[in-house]
Copies of this chain bind each other. A is one copy, B any other.
């Protein structure tokens, strides 16, 4: 066929899946072209900055997802524990129950641009803050809330690494079950 196309959303999904699976250095423009059905030259038309710019767009897209599915639900109304349960469910989906890696984990391995590195750092800080805010709102002291937020993210990241290395998502599932207790005063 002469002309193919793909929506920005579908493109994002394919690119996200490649980058979170193989990391920045592990993904080639050829892979991106095959996965999206576009030729390499078309990728450069959409993203003149090439792989660097695509990875940055992927990271930005993930931040947008977190804003909608994590930060906003956490800052909403209703009992804090209920909000934490909803967010845990959303995160379970995002990580496919432990089968998909964290984008910040794999893309933080050197190779990408400085902008990507800075974006991941900002996103991680925002994530910690969002977790600390709800822990605080649930009644915990600021220092305890901050510690709980960091512990929660450490456990998510760590259990995702274990899941990838062991090929077993059991520890991730346990972490997600524990999450509401970690983020709210018991």
Interface set of A (CB-CB < 8 Å, partner B): 21-26, 101-102, 104-106, 108-111, 120-121, 124-125, 150-151, 153-159, 161-162, 164-167, 171, 175
Contact = CB atoms under 8 A, between A and B. Distances in A.
Contacts of A120: 165
A36 to B, nearest CB: 19
8 contacts: A105-B105, A105-B165, A108-B161, A108-B164, A154-B155, A155-B155, A155-B158, A158-B159
A104 B158 CA distance: 11
Given A23-B23, A104-B161, A156-B158, 4 more contacts: A23-B25, A26-B111, A120-B165, A125-B166
Nearest to A101: B109
Nearest to A156: B158
Q: How many copies does the complex hold?
A: 2
A157 B26 CA distance: 21
A158 B154 contact: yes
B111 A165 contact: no
B110 A26 contact: yes
B162 A124 contact: yes
Contacts of A171: 150, 154
Contacts of A154: 154-155, 158-159, 161-162, 171, 175
A124 B166 CA distance: 7
Contacts of A121: 165-167
Nearest to A150: B171
Contacts of A101: 109
A161 B158 contact: yes
Given A153-B162, A158-B153, A175-B154, A26 B108 contact: no
A108 B23 CA distance: 11
